[in-house]
Protein backbone atom coordinates (compact mmCIF):
# COMPACT_ATOMS: atom_id res chain seq x y z
CA UNK A 1 0.00 0.00 0.00
CA UNK A 2 2.70 2.55 0.86
CA UNK A 3 4.32 2.30 -2.57
CA UNK A 4 0.91 2.78 -4.19
CA UNK A 5 0.25 5.85 -2.04
CA UNK A 6 3.67 7.34 -2.80
CA UNK A 7 3.30 6.68 -6.53
CA UNK A 8 0.20 8.87 -6.48
CA UNK A 9 2.08 11.72 -4.83
CA UNK A 10 5.13 11.94 -7.07
CA UNK A 11 6.96 9.58 -9.39
CA UNK A 12 10.20 11.35 -8.40
CA UNK A 13 10.23 10.06 -4.82
CA UNK A 14 13.19 7.66 -4.63
CA UNK A 15 12.11 4.20 -3.51
CA UNK A 16 15.07 2.61 -1.76
CA UNK A 17 15.55 -1.12 -2.31
CA UNK A 18 18.18 -2.82 -0.16
CA UNK A 19 19.60 -5.46 -2.46
CA UNK A 20 21.67 -7.59 -0.12
CA UNK A 21 22.56 -10.12 -2.79
CA UNK A 22 20.82 -12.78 -0.71
CA UNK A 23 17.22 -12.03 -1.71
CA UNK A 24 14.79 -14.53 -3.20
CA UNK A 25 14.61 -14.34 -7.03
CA UNK A 26 10.85 -13.89 -6.59
CA UNK A 27 11.50 -10.72 -4.59
CA UNK A 28 13.61 -9.21 -7.36
CA UNK A 29 11.00 -10.08 -10.00
CA UNK A 30 8.25 -8.65 -7.77
CA UNK A 31 10.25 -5.43 -7.25
CA UNK A 32 10.63 -4.95 -11.00
CA UNK A 33 6.96 -5.69 -11.67
CA UNK A 34 5.67 -3.31 -8.97
CA UNK A 35 8.10 -0.58 -10.03
CA UNK A 36 6.97 -0.87 -13.64
CA UNK A 37 3.26 -0.99 -12.80
CA UNK A 38 3.36 1.97 -10.41
CA UNK A 39 5.99 3.98 -12.29
CA UNK A 40 8.38 4.04 -9.34
CA UNK A 41 11.94 5.35 -9.34
CA UNK A 42 13.72 2.51 -7.55
CA UNK A 43 17.19 3.09 -6.16
CA UNK A 44 18.93 -0.28 -5.85
CA UNK A 45 21.38 -0.11 -2.94
CA UNK A 46 24.04 -2.80 -2.56
CA UNK A 47 26.75 -3.41 0.02
CA UNK A 48 30.38 -2.53 -0.71
CA UNK A 49 31.66 -5.70 0.96
CA UNK A 50 31.91 -8.69 -1.40
CA UNK A 51 30.08 -11.87 -0.35
CA UNK A 52 33.42 -13.71 -0.36
CA UNK A 53 34.61 -11.35 2.38
CA UNK A 54 31.52 -11.80 4.54
CA UNK A 55 32.96 -14.51 6.75
CA UNK A 56 34.18 -14.87 10.29
CA UNK A 57 37.95 -15.20 10.85
CA UNK A 58 37.53 -18.99 10.93
CA UNK A 59 35.75 -18.96 7.54
CA UNK A 60 32.09 -19.32 8.54
CA UNK A 61 29.50 -17.38 6.54
CA UNK A 62 28.20 -14.36 8.46
CA UNK A 63 24.52 -15.00 7.75
CA UNK A 64 24.83 -18.35 9.54
CA UNK A 65 27.28 -17.45 12.29
CA UNK A 66 26.74 -13.74 13.00
CA UNK A 67 23.45 -12.56 11.46
CA UNK A 68 23.63 -9.22 13.28
CA UNK A 69 26.91 -8.42 11.56
CA UNK A 70 25.62 -9.72 8.22
CA UNK A 71 22.59 -7.42 8.43
CA UNK A 72 24.79 -4.56 9.55
CA UNK A 73 27.09 -4.90 6.52
CA UNK A 74 24.36 -5.60 3.96
CA UNK A 75 21.61 -3.29 5.18
CA UNK A 76 22.44 -0.88 7.99
CA UNK A 77 25.71 0.54 6.62
CA UNK A 78 24.29 0.82 3.10
CA UNK A 79 21.08 2.58 4.13
CA UNK A 80 22.85 4.78 6.67
CA UNK A 81 25.20 6.13 3.99
CA UNK A 82 22.28 6.82 1.65
CA UNK A 83 20.08 8.52 4.26
CA UNK A 84 22.81 11.03 5.13
CA UNK A 85 21.68 12.90 2.00
CA UNK A 86 18.01 13.14 3.02
CA UNK A 87 15.94 14.95 5.63
CA UNK A 88 13.06 12.44 5.67
CA UNK A 89 12.84 8.66 5.45
CA UNK A 90 9.33 7.31 4.79
CA UNK A 91 9.04 3.71 5.93
CA UNK A 92 6.27 1.12 5.71
CA UNK A 93 6.90 -0.46 9.11
CA UNK A 94 3.84 -1.41 11.13
CA UNK A 95 3.47 -1.62 14.91
CA UNK A 96 1.82 -5.04 14.61
CA UNK A 97 4.95 -6.59 13.08
CA UNK A 98 7.24 -6.76 16.15
CA UNK A 99 7.39 -5.55 19.73
CA UNK A 100 10.21 -3.19 18.74
CA UNK A 101 8.08 -1.62 16.01
CA UNK A 102 5.16 -1.47 18.42
CA UNK A 103 7.11 1.19 20.33
CA UNK A 104 7.56 3.44 17.28
CA UNK A 105 5.78 6.72 16.71
CA UNK A 106 4.36 7.97 13.42
CA UNK A 107 7.18 10.52 13.34
CA UNK A 108 10.46 10.21 15.17
CA UNK A 109 14.01 11.41 14.88
CA UNK A 110 16.40 9.05 13.15
CA UNK A 111 20.16 9.06 12.78
CA UNK A 112 21.90 12.07 11.21
CA UNK A 113 18.86 14.30 11.90
CA UNK A 114 16.79 12.33 9.40
CA UNK A 115 13.10 12.40 10.29
CA UNK A 116 11.63 8.90 10.19
CA UNK A 117 8.01 8.92 9.06
CA UNK A 118 5.86 5.78 9.43
CA UNK A 119 2.51 6.65 7.79
CA UNK A 120 1.03 3.14 7.99
CA UNK A 121 2.40 2.32 11.44
CA UNK A 122 -1.07 1.72 12.89
CA UNK A 123 -2.43 -0.31 9.97
CA UNK A 124 -3.33 -3.91 10.74
CA UNK A 125 -2.74 -6.87 8.46
CA UNK A 126 -6.47 -6.81 7.65
CA UNK A 127 -6.24 -3.17 6.58
CA UNK A 128 -3.21 -3.91 4.40
CA UNK A 129 -5.10 -6.78 2.76
CA UNK A 130 -8.24 -4.64 2.25
CA UNK A 131 -6.24 -1.80 0.70
CA UNK A 132 -4.41 -4.19 -1.60
CA UNK A 133 -7.71 -5.72 -2.75
CA UNK A 134 -9.46 -2.34 -3.15
CA UNK A 135 -6.65 -1.08 -5.40
CA UNK A 136 -5.99 -4.38 -7.18
CA UNK A 137 -2.37 -4.46 -6.00
CA UNK A 138 -0.30 -7.60 -6.52
CA UNK A 139 0.73 -9.94 -3.75
CA UNK A 140 4.33 -11.05 -3.35
CA UNK A 141 4.52 -14.54 -4.89
CA UNK A 142 6.02 -15.96 -1.69
CA UNK A 143 3.02 -14.69 0.30
CA UNK A 144 0.91 -17.07 -1.75
CA UNK A 145 3.29 -19.88 -0.76
CA UNK A 146 2.78 -19.16 2.95
CA UNK A 147 5.63 -16.77 3.73
CA UNK A 148 4.39 -13.87 5.83
CA UNK A 149 7.66 -12.05 6.49
CA UNK A 150 10.10 -12.16 3.60
CA UNK A 151 13.76 -11.27 3.85
CA UNK A 152 17.00 -12.81 2.65
CA UNK A 153 16.92 -16.44 1.49
CA UNK A 154 19.36 -17.88 4.05
CA UNK A 155 17.48 -16.27 6.94
CA UNK A 156 13.83 -16.80 5.96
CA UNK A 157 11.79 -19.97 6.30
CA UNK A 158 8.14 -20.68 5.62
CA UNK A 159 6.43 -20.39 9.02
CA UNK A 160 4.72 -23.27 10.72
CA UNK A 161 0.98 -22.86 11.37
CA UNK A 162 1.40 -21.78 15.00
CA UNK A 163 4.54 -19.72 14.38
CA UNK A 164 4.70 -15.93 14.71
CA UNK A 165 5.36 -14.65 11.17
CA UNK A 166 8.51 -12.77 12.25
CA UNK A 167 9.85 -15.92 13.91
CA UNK A 168 10.26 -17.29 10.40
CA UNK A 169 13.05 -14.75 9.94
CA UNK A 170 16.33 -15.77 11.54
CA UNK A 171 14.58 -18.97 12.68
CA UNK A 172 16.16 -20.59 15.71
CA UNK A 173 17.44 -17.27 17.05
CA UNK A 174 15.93 -14.47 19.13
CA UNK A 175 16.66 -11.95 16.36
CA UNK A 176 13.56 -10.17 15.01
CA UNK A 177 15.03 -7.04 13.41
CA UNK A 178 17.79 -6.49 10.88
CA UNK A 179 18.91 -3.25 12.49
CA UNK A 180 17.71 -0.57 10.05
CA UNK A 181 14.73 0.23 12.25
CA UNK A 182 16.54 0.04 15.57
CA UNK A 183 19.43 1.73 17.24
CA UNK A 184 21.56 -1.35 16.62
CA UNK A 185 23.18 0.62 13.83
CA UNK A 186 26.32 1.04 15.90
CA UNK A 187 28.31 -2.19 15.91
CA UNK A 188 30.51 -3.38 18.71
CA UNK A 189 34.08 -2.11 18.48
CA UNK A 190 35.25 -5.52 17.28
CA UNK A 191 32.86 -5.31 14.31
CA UNK A 192 34.09 -2.01 12.91
Judge whether 70 counts as a catalytic residue: no
What is the enclosing helix (H) or strand (E) of 68?
Answer: helix 67-71
Which residues, in sequence order, are bridge partners of residue 44? 17
Contacts 24+ apart (CB under 8 A), 107-111: 110/83, 111/80, 111/83, 111/185
* Sign of the C-alpha dihedral computed for residues 103, 104, 108 and 111 taken in this order: positive
Per DSSP, 169 falls in state B
Q: Of residues 70, 152, 155, 178, which has the active-site annotation?
A: 178
Taking every pair of C-alpha atoms in the chain, what is the biggest distance, in angstroms? 52
Q: How far is CA 59 from CA 47, 146, 154, 171, in A?
A: 19, 33, 17, 22
Catalytic residue numbers read: 178
Amino acid sequence: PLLHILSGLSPQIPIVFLNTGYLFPETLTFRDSVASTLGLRVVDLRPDVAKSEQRTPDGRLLFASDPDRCCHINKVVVLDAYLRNYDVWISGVRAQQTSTRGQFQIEQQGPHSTLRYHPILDWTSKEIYAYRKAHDLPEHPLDVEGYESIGCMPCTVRPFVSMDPRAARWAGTTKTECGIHTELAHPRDDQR
